[in-house]
């Protein structure tokens, strides 16, 4: 099964990390991916960091018209910092991996969402 792990920095504590601390955090993520994909019960398929929330674009329909807005759709989504796509048959292993993410140790929160593959249209 595939899962999306969404990493949030709700209190914005990761934004204020100094350069060396930030590089160490990112290096920790890279090391964890490498180790996980060679030894673990969870495969990290992809990992992306989100750019600052001010760079997000929101799209919706109002009275049939497409409306484009700047910024995230909600205050909570403004704290969204990273997306992991992982694959595993063991949710407990995914939870354990999420707990070992360096950003979690630095105060981030992770949501784990099971994914459903889209069906091919007939």
Domains present along the chain, CATH in parentheses: 2-114 (3.30.70.1060)
Neighbours of 89 (CB within 10 A): 9
Note the pLDDT tens digit of each residue in 84-100: 999 999 999 999 999 98
User: Across the strands, what pairs with 85?
Assistant: 4, 46
pLDDT (tens digit, 9 = 90+) per residue, 42-88? 888 988 888 888 888 999 999 999 999 998 887 766 688 889 999 99
């Amino acid at each position: 099964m595939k899962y999306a792990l969404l990493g949030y920095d709700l209190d914005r504590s990761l934004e204020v990390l100094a350069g060396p601390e930030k590089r160490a955090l990112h290096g920790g993520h890279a090391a964890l991916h490498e180790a996980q994909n060679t030894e673990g019960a969870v495969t990290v398929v992809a990992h992306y960091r989100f750019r600052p929330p001010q760079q997000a674009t929101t799209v919706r329909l109002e009275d049939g018209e497409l409306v484009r807005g700047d910024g995230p759709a909600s205050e909570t989504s403004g704290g969204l910092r990273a997306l992991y796509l992982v694959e595993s048959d063991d949710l407990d292993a995914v939870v354990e991996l999420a707990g070992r993410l360096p950003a979690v140790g630095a105060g981030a929160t992770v949501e784990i969402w099971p994914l459903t593959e889209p069906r091919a249209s007939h």
